[in-house]
Structure 1
């Protein structure tokens, strides 16, 4: 029962990263988001979640993990309720940011509770396996659940659904989970705030550039402020007695390379989900439920790639899978750049998604192994937490860069499509265009597709950067695998 409570908490937090994706077109039309501004619905959650993840883990150690878990879940439930009731874009983004704070408190605490609830040995190993399975499968469940809720109810239920789940978790936690001992420590609030604010400013700069251009004064001011705040963050972390981000973790080239690869690959996968969700619903005309099913092969092939890498790692070591996985992901995204308004799901989308997903499955297993190599036992939590934080922050930053590419290419395409539309439009259509500034289909489909294709070009570049890091930075031999796994024999991973 304790494991069920912990797994349900993790499922709720992970599910919210993808369940909202399916609802994005409906949120856009209901609350008046632009396509570039819509990225904040994702980024508001992932930025606060990734930026405060390590602080949430520290809070559980200092204040007691059960108490902190209950608080994090209650905050998540409250934010979900506010988001479901939102009547404006600003209200929804504020609720999504608050959801991220709740997730950052609850998720690392739930993982740490496994160590205090289950003794070392097979029981704890099985518990970690269940937790990892929920984390991996939550994305697929979120896509399906989001499709069903939007199709049968409306987009608000992708947020309301967290309320009954969270309340059940809060009621069950005191009954089935015992409190952990407290450990004295220091909250690095300055480090947490400067890192989060710096990343928000950086992401805002890219999204502002997509809307207003690179010469816009607010764009330039946002980038300048981001540089100042992130520089302050590095200074704070170097002087802190208990930093939220242990910078010495980056001294090992393999671990630094691992974090760099996770940053790049997360940027690619977040962007792929975001833009393909818009494309299959707005251009191909899929219903939300059909879109959810359309993405199921992604989860299946990620599982296949992860299983393949796990089985062959003892023989070949992680580096071949780091290189091959990144190359496959780049190939899949490069294939997606050929997408146009005449593309079909079976003929143009499914194949690239399968290639991309197979490569990403290889990456996830190998990167996790590399991130925890040569790490003292007392710092394994910090190393794994930093990898998770890098994933969320990389996804947010990458998505904002891809949105910039999307906006630039979309504006260029619109300048070509508007004269063609006006030449063929009826007086009523011209009047509607002057009033709204929006092109009707099929001209709007051309604009959206041009932007999506450009975003995939940049996503492919991100995965090629990851491949270069794997080739040039990562240095590990098959004979090192025993050391990486913490034992003398290179047994199954």
Structure 2
């Protein structure tokens, strides 16, 4: 509500910060509910639904946002959240409140400041260049802040994130897959929407409609992966998903100012979204299904952290590469950014081949405490 009523930039940014905090709290809670409610093969299916909703939500947001912007105005992008949240409140209130845990405030401040500094440095590189002090200083500060975060977590009795989880190969693999899949999917939607509106003069509504098939493909990829990971294993699905995403990215590197959008850009988006939908499911099932039962709650927190960070980093990096195209309407910036996405997907497939453990997620046992 505050964001929609904003009359200046500080008020707008403040509202967006509050929205980000809420989203960061809600996402791990949702995954925790899924992992504590379902067991065995049913949990794979439930995680498939969770990933499908998350992936398609990004594309649906573009469609709904376009309709609202073309209709009552951009403020309604934020107003529409209010009745949705009010309607969901009864379902979000637990029947019995859990024992409150002590907040790791130093850790929260350090990791938030480090991530903010990292993203600021990446964005600034588009304007100032990679060798400028305006870029290097925030990136250096991010390294220092992350090091401080690691030290604070090691010393804390109630750490925000148990860094020992990164010594577990399945968790590390799941975190990597979630980071790259989220970064790529959000980057595709960001670049595609700006390209269509700035280069091709599409309206917000028409742009949103074009992303509808990508939303369906994301859900389909998640559904297929939820069935395949239990049959052929996480590694094969992860590598195949990233390879499909890379194949879908190739047509996007050859965009033109007057070429056919429906014959070039749309098929690329759909294929890439299909592959990334599969990777989302593989990330969660690998991290949660290949660790000990009592560690699943911690693993879900790690995966969700990288989900939130991945979207921010993805937009920051591609906006830096495509800065010339975004500012002046030049096509070269967009094709360079999509080329980077292609290389990232190919590299991720190669990394997944060596990082994701062999075998199939078990997802056995009773509920765990998150």
State whether TM-score is above 0.5. Answer: yes
Larger relative contact order (C-alpha < 8 A, sep ≥ 6)? 2
- Counterpart of 1:241 (choices 151, 157, 163) is 157
- Please show how residues 126-145 of structure 1 align to structure 2 within 5 Å: 134-145=53-64
Whether the 8 Å contact between 2:51 and 2:277 is mirrored in structure 1 is no
- Counterpart of 1:459 (choices 341, 345, 355) is 341
How far apart are 1:125 and its partner, in Å? 10
Query: Given the superposition, is the C-alpha separation of residues 113 and 101 from structure 1 closer, same or farther in structure 2, using an over 3 Å criterion?
Result: same
Q: Which is worse superposed, 320-329 or 101-110?
A: 101-110
Is 1:301 aligned with 2:179? no
Query: Given the superposition, is the C-alpha separation of residues 109 and 332 from structure 1 closer, same or farther in structure 2, using an over 3 Å criterion?
Result: closer
Aligned length in residues: 365
Whether the 8 Å contact between 1:267 and 1:462 is mirrored in structure 2 is no
Is 1:216 aligned with 2:132? yes
Q: Match of 1:94? A: 14
Q: Match of 1:162? A: 81
CA distance in 2, matches of 1:345, 1:387: 35
Is 1:472 aligned with 2:354? yes
CA distance in 1, matches of 2:152, 2:55: 34
- Counterpart of 1:486 (choices 355, 360, 364) is 364
Query: Given the superposition, is the C-alpha separation of residues 314 and 209 from structure 1 closer, same or farther in structure 2, using an over 3 Å criterion?
Result: closer
Q: Which is worse superposed, 194-203 or 346-355?
A: 346-355
CA distance in 1, matches of 2:221, 2:168: 27
Consecutive unaligned residues of structure 2, counting only runs of 5 or more, are 366-370
Provide the aligned C-alpha RMSD in A: 2.9
Query: Given the superposition, is the C-alpha separation of residues 141 and 273 from structure 1 closer, same or farther in structure 2, using an over 3 Å criterion?
Result: closer
Q: Match of 1:146? A: 65
Q: Match of 1:62? A: none
- Counterpart of 2:246 (choices 322, 330, 333) is 330
Whether the 8 Å contact between 2:173 and 2:287 is mirrored in structure 1 is no
Q: Match of 1:370? A: 286
CA distance in 2, matches of 1:324, 1:472: 13
CA distance in 2, matches of 1:127, 1:312: 14
Consecutive unaligned residues of structure 1, counting only runs of 5 or more, are 1-80, 412-437, 439-443, 488-493
Q: Encode CA deviations 1:24-69: one digit per residue, 9 max, x unaligned.
A: xxxxxxxxxxxxxxxxxxxxxxxxxxxxxxxxxxxxxxxxxxxxxx
- Please show how residues 103-142 of structure 1 align to structure 2 within 5 Å: 103-109=23-29, 112=32, 134-142=53-61
CA distance in 2, matches of 1:453, 1:100: 30
- Please show how residues 267-416 of structure 1 align to structure 2 within 5 Å: 267-407=183-323, 410=325
How far apart are 1:139 and its partner, in Å? 3.0
Query: Given the superposition, is the C-alpha separation of residues 123 and 239 from structure 1 closer, same or farther in structure 2, using an over 3 Å criterion?
Result: same
- Counterpart of 1:231 (choices 110, 129, 147) is 147
Q: Encode CA deviations 1:78-107: one digit per residue, 9 max, x unaligned.
A: xxx121122333332221111111222344
CA distance in 2, matches of 1:318, 1:367: 8
Q: Which has the larger radius of gyration?
A: 1
Query: Given the superposition, is the C-alpha separation of residues 285 and 267 from structure 1 closer, same or farther in structure 2, using an over 3 Å criterion?
Result: same
CA distance in 1, matches of 2:130, 2:47: 46
CA distance in 1, matches of 2:38, 2:287: 24
How far apart are 1:285 and its partner, in Å? 2.0
Q: Encode CA deviations 1:229-255: one digit per residue, 9 max, x unaligned.
A: 111011111222221111111112232
CA distance in 2, matches of 1:382, 1:293: 38
Whether the 8 Å contact between 1:262 and 1:394 is mirrored in structure 2 is yes
CA distance in 2, matches of 1:305, 1:122: 18
CA distance in 2, matches of 1:202, 1:97: 16
- TM-score (normalised: structure 1): 0.67
